Every structure is written in C-alpha cells, then in structure tokens.
Structure 1
Amino acid sequence: MRRHSVSRVLNFLIWLAYLSADSVAIFVLGHLAVHASGSHHLLIFWAPFLLLHLGGKDTITAFSTHDNELWRRHLLGLVTQASVAGYVISISSWQDRLLLAATVLMFLSGIFKYIGLIGSLLLLSFVVSEDLEELVLGKLIDLGMGDKKCWNFASFRGQIALRRWTAMCTIIDSADLPTSVMIWHTATELCYYGYDRSNNYHQTNKMKVSRELSNYIMYLVFKCDVMLRSSSKLIHSNTCKEINEAGSFPFETFERNLERRQQAATTIRVDIPSSSNNNEPITQVQLLKNNIKALTCPVLPRACTVVGEMGGMSADDRWDLIAEVWLEMLFYIAPRCGSAFHAQHLGTGGEFVTHVLLLMKLLGPFLPPPDA
C-alpha cells in the first residue's frame, strides 16, 4: 500500500519547496551571468550545477498531474537557462583544465536531465491516433442514424454490447466502473498476448485500436482520477500484485495458467440484485452496496472468466466485441468527467474525451438523464 499523508501543513511545505526550487535556481543563475567575469572558477562551476538542478528532482517529477501538461514551458526553460549557463561558462577564463572538463560534463548532464524531464512530462500526456478518432466518430454517426430509442447508450458501460453473454454482463454489473475498467483492461491484454498477437494485419489493426482505447480509459480513470472513488484507488495496485504473484502469467504461459485461474474464479460469487432486463442500467445504490465486496474479489480470475467466454469466438468477433465494450465505457465516462475536468484541459486543446462529449451533444444528443 502506498504511503499517504493527509497533513495539510506538510503538503503545503512540499508544494512551496517544489515551486520555489526552480525560482531560486533561476535567480542564482541570473546573478552568476551578471558577475561571472570577476568570479572565482569554483563559483562559476555552480552554473551547470544549477542547470542540472533545473532538470528536475529525482524524487518528484511533477507535483500534480496537471504539471504534466507544462512540458512546453519546461522546453522554453531549457533553451533559455542552457543559454545563460553556456554564457556564464564561455565568458570565464579557465586556467584549470580539469575544472573546465568537470564543468562541461556537468553542463551536458544538466541538458540531458532537462531533456529527460521534458520527455517524461510529454509521455504522460495521452495522445490518441487517427484510427481511434475514426472508430469513435464512426460509431457516433452510426448511432445517430439509428433508432432514437437506442440513444440512451450513455447510461450503460458495456451491458448493451454484452447482453447476449450473461456471465460477462454479470461481471460488469457486479462491480463499479474502476473495477470494470481494470477487469476489461486485463482481459484485453490477455486476449492479445494469449490468442491473437500473431494474426493478420487487419486483425492486428483492430487489436491496436481496441488496446489503445483500453489504455486511454485506464489513463482517464487511474491517472486522471475520473470517476475514481477513494475506495477504488487500490484496485490498480492490487491487480499488479496479483499478476506479479502469478509469476510469468499471463504472457508466456497463458494457456497453462488460464485453466487454473478460471477454476479459482468459480469460487468468487458476488451477490447483487440483477436486473430483469439487461437493457436497464444498474442503479448507483446497487453498485454502492456491492462496492466493498467487489474490492475484496481479485480482478485476475474475473478477467480470465471474460477471456474464457470469448475463447470460442473468431478473432474478428472477439475484437469487435472488445471494441464495442470499450466504446460503451467511453461514452459512459464522457458526460461524467465533470465540468472542471473538461475546463482544465481546454487550454491545451481539450482532452480527447472532451471532444467525444461535444460530438455526443451535437450528433444526438446522446446524454444520460441528469440523475443517471
């Protein structure tokens, strides 16, 4: 379990130190630029050292997830501060060659570390492919041209796609959204590595888009905390622990371990009132009642049950179903991210899910009832 501090004073001090560290370094670097010509060489050695410091702290890359969107600001900082540090070094007269060599090495280390910081922040900003955009847009257009009685799909998170498969539908009904996402993400990876990784290009492209959508929804829920309750935050770490305890499962020895995991899954029973009609969304009260029990049920056996249900399908049918479930979850999440989440990302062009929400409003509207 990750350690967590609720002390506001300590949190404020860490925040203050995080924000002031760069400001202090920039001030000192500017001071060195003004007085470099008359300063001692050891004092000039601080210029590349401060550049190394500006490259980021080893223990904390970003104070919050919103800092990940500031990679452009850090890129500008790299250009300006590296120029200042290079200027300080260049105008000094170096008689000690060893100190000069150490300074140059420190300067290069600072640049590389700064680039590493920018790369880390950039990678944490999720970018979707054109194939995924076309998949989502095509689905919304198809729904818009269909029967208006089916426009309530944003009230479901996979139940419509799974209405013919009782076992898989029950697994989604019996868990809250974060747990369902974790189960289906695990099942998606199991299907890819266990069955279909070596299939033809058409199927591989379909897998790629489905896995990308799976990863994106995982990013929204477990990275951006979209619809993530405090009681659900341990699901991700618990699932990673399950997989680690399973050793090489699920990738190298998928087939051998699948039967054992499916047998373990049969011991898991989640008692929840099931809807008489799979087209009726499960209520929030039912999800709340089942929340504690869902947390105690391992994700991996339930994911294996999902994979086992899809084992008899062709690769095309299997990945069509996986894509449909993930699309349904995306349309379920989009109206429920909260206005604050969408507003925070407008400055960078908006999150992909924000564009999805706008399309849902324009092409439908495909929005759930206010109390759903």
Structure 2
Amino acid sequence: MAQYSLLWLSLKEKCSIRIIEELRYKEFEDFNKDYRQLIFKHVEEKFEEFEKQRAQPEVRSTSTLETAIKEFCSQRGKGILEKYQKQKSEVKIEWSILEWSISVEFDQSILIWHMATEICYYSKDEIANLSDEAKKCREFSLHMSRYMLYLLVISPFMLPAGIGFIRFRDTRAEAMEFFEEQRPTSRGEGTVPALLKLSRKICSCRSSSIVEVEQRRKEACMMLLEVRTDVPPMKVKGDRSKSVLFDACRLASTLNAISDSYLKWNLLKDMWLELLAYAACHCRGNDHARQLGQGGELLTHVWILMAHFGLTEQFQISQGHARARLVTK
C-alpha cells in the first residue's frame, strides 16, 4: 500500500525534478490481515444499513432503488459523525468543526484529515496507555491517510475531480514557510553546487535514523498545535491561497481535545474507512482498469468488494428468480 506524507514533504527541501521527488517520498506499507478485516467489516456494515433502507416499501421500485444507491454512495462521513454524536452525547466535542471538514470538496477533506491525522499521531505521548484495539485504529488511520494522499498526488484521476494538487501545493508551501520561520537561522554556510545539493536531497531521506525522523516530526506537530485556532484561517490568509494547513490544525486540536484516546482513534479510523469507500465508489471503471497495468490499487479491491455487495452506482444486480441483470456504467 503506497504511502505519501505531507508532513515529511514539508520538512524537506523541494527537489527540482518531479520524478525524483515522487520516488523519494513514496513509501510502501504492508496491507495486513487487520486492515483487510477493518475494511470488510465497514463495507459489511454499510450493506446491512442499506438493506434496512431497501426493505422499506417506498424504495422497492427500480428507479427509487437507484436513487437510494446514489444517495448512499454520496455519504462521506456525515453518518459516522451522527452515529458518534448519538452514542457519545456525553463527550464534549466541537462537532461543528468536524462537520465542516467533511462538507467541503472531497480533495480538501482528504488534505485536512490527512494533516490532522499526522498531527494527532505525533503530538501526544499516548501510545503506552492505549489498548491493543486503539493502537490498531491509530496505525490504520495513519497509513490510510497517507494512502489517500498518495492517490491525490500521484493518481488524482482515481478521485473525484477537484483542485487537489493546487491545494496540496499551497498547503505544502505554507507548511515549509511555517517550519522555516520556526527554525533558527545558521550563518556561515557556503553555496553548495547544484549537482551536489541535488544528490544530497536524493540521499538525505535515508541518512537520518528512524528515531531522528520521528523526533523531527513530533517537534513539527507540536509547533503546529501551538497555532491559534480561534481565528478562522480564511480571515488570516484570504481566499487566494488554497492551503488547508491551519484548517487541519483546528481539526487536530479538536480531535486531541477528546479525552478518551480510544474514542478519538476509533473515530479517525471510521472516518478514513468512509473516505476510502466514497473514493472507491466514485472512481470510474476504466480508471480502475487503467491502474491494473501498474499493479493495481487497494482502491480497486474496495470497489470490487462494494460492487459484490451492490453498493456501487456502476454495478447493479436486479433481484428475483429471473436471470440476474448486471448494469454497468
């Protein structure tokens, strides 16, 4: 499962050759049994929920059923938040910020939730106090957020149309500027020849130890959490920049304010499952096929799984004793 981290990118200098930059910052994570079970369980629960809706008399006709499928496929987090609000009504959470973060364009949601997940992951020393289930949710959330960012940056055609790369570019630029302002200036550095500088860029990602990299990310996330979140980012930056950096800081602060760490990571896990399912539903069949030549994508497996349950717009199987009718779009 390919991985892309905006935080890692923001802490490095920009490479002038795009293909080298893509190779440097793309990692791979094993897609383990736990992740498969989480995705299957999520799709199965969505199917059970849809079956309850389909059992209602008013949605039994073909046209109404197709409308119901479209509405069901359009969900990307609202139902998750409503479920948590009902189940955890006693927990004090700024739901309005979470609701806003899923009401914006899809690529904007991915970037906001990706960066917020990174900040939550690195900003609190809570790992020792987490249950095994919470740790599983924590790791899944991080890796799924990086996978979704990888799709947005490297394979944007697999996601709903938007200005994702522009938002990604502006967010990265703002993050790099922010970290540069926080970094103490060093004097006496000479000019490094361009070729030597490029080779250092290419090799630097492996030169630091894992401990050093983790510490650098942790310090960066602590800096981001110190940003004032009481002022809406739009009032500070205006509407020219498409950066979502400080929107992500607001969301991360809201999530970190949840005292129950298991609740926080379970919510993040469910949100990423929902975003993954939404992306799989809205990727065109020919784009899924296009990626098969490159080895295929996890997103395609999720799409096929959802199609098996009848939860996609592209595939619909009529029910009854007559021969099944498969409609592709």
TM-score (norm 2): 0.60
Choose the corresponding residue for 2:263, options 317, 320, 336: 317
Q: Deviations over 1:99-142 (max 9, x none)?
A: xxxxxxxxxxxxxxxxxxxxx59x66776333222210111122
8 Å CA contact 2:160–2:283 kept in 1: the answer is: no
- Return closer, same or farther for 1:254/1:354 CA change in 2, 3 Å cut-off: closer
Q: Alpha-carbon deviation of 1:346?
A: 2.9
Residue 134 of structure 1: aligned partner: 37
- Return closer, same or farther for 1:244/1:368 CA change in 2, 3 Å cut-off: same
Q: Does 1:220 align with 2:151?
A: yes
Give the counterpart letter for 2:101 in structure 1. Answer: I
Give the counterpart letter for 1:182 in structure 2. Answer: L
Q: Does 1:352 align with 2:293?
A: no
Q: Does 1:235 align with 2:164?
A: no
- Return closer, same or farther for 1:191/1:61 CA change in 2, 3 Å cut-off: closer
Name which of structure 1's ranges 323-332 and 295-304 shifts more when overlaid on structure 2.
295-304
8 Å CA contact 2:167–2:242 kept in 1: the answer is: no
Give the counterpart letter for 1:239 in structure 2. Answer: T
Give the counterpart letter for 1:344 in structure 2. Answer: R
Q: Deviations over 1:280-328 (max 9, x none)?
A: xxxxxxxxxxxx95x7353122112212222232111001111111111
- Cα distance in 1 for partners of 2:49, 2:117 equals 28
- Cα distance in 1 for partners of 2:224, 2:27 equals 33
The root-mean-square deviation of aligned C-alpha atoms, in Å, is: 3.5
Residue 157 of structure 1: aligned partner: 76
8 Å CA contact 1:132–1:212 kept in 2: the answer is: no
Give the counterpart letter for 2:227 in structure 1. Answer: R
8 Å CA contact 1:242–1:298 kept in 2: the answer is: yes
Residue 361 of structure 1: aligned partner: 307
Choose the corresponding residue for 2:225, options 239, 251, 258: 258
Q: Does 1:192 align with 2:124?
A: no
Give matches, 1:29-40, under 5 Å.
none
SS in 1 for 2:36: helix
In structure 2, stretches of 5+ residues that fail to align are 1-15, 55-68, 86-94, 183-215, 316-329
- Return closer, same or farther for 1:355/1:130 CA change in 2, 3 Å cut-off: same
Q: Deviations over 1:195-224 (max 9, x none)?
A: 255334623332111111111111112210
- Cα distance in 2 for partners of 1:308, 1:59 equals 35
- Return closer, same or farther for 1:125/1:186 CA change in 2, 3 Å cut-off: closer
Residue 96 of structure 2: aligned partner: 166
8 Å CA contact 2:166–2:242 kept in 1: the answer is: no
- Cα distance in 1 for partners of 2:293, 2:45 equals 31
Q: Does 1:177 align with 2:106?
A: yes
- Cα distance in 1 for partners of 2:305, 2:17 equals 40
In structure 1, stretches of 5+ residues that fail to align are 1-57, 66-119, 270-291
Residue 334 of structure 1: aligned partner: 280
- Cα distance in 2 for partners of 1:303, 1:61 equals 27
Residue 306 of structure 1: aligned partner: 251
Q: Which has the higher contact order (CA 8 A, sep 6+)?
A: 2
Structure number, greater radius of gyration? 1
Give the counterpart letter for 1:186 in structure 2. Answer: M
Q: Number of residues paired by the alignment?
A: 232
Give the counterpart letter for 1:243 in structure 2. Answer: A
SS in 2 for 1:206: helix
- Return closer, same or farther for 1:366/1:268 CA change in 2, 3 Å cut-off: farther
8 Å CA contact 2:152–2:165 kept in 1: the answer is: no
Give the counterpart letter for 1:168 in structure 2. Answer: L
8 Å CA contact 1:345–1:351 kept in 2: the answer is: yes
- Cα distance in 2 for partners of 1:128, 1:355 equals 12
Residue 13 of structure 2: aligned partner: none
- Return closer, same or farther for 1:265/1:196 CA change in 2, 3 Å cut-off: farther
Q: Alpha-carbon deviation of 1:143?
A: 2.6
Q: Alpha-carbon deviation of 1:350?
A: 3.2
SS in 2 for 1:160: helix
- Return closer, same or farther for 1:257/1:338 CA change in 2, 3 Å cut-off: closer
Give the counterpart letter for 1:134 in structure 2. Answer: Q
8 Å CA contact 2:280–2:300 kept in 1: the answer is: yes
Q: Alpha-carbon deviation of 1:237?
A: 1.8
- Cα distance in 2 for partners of 1:232, 1:369 equals 24
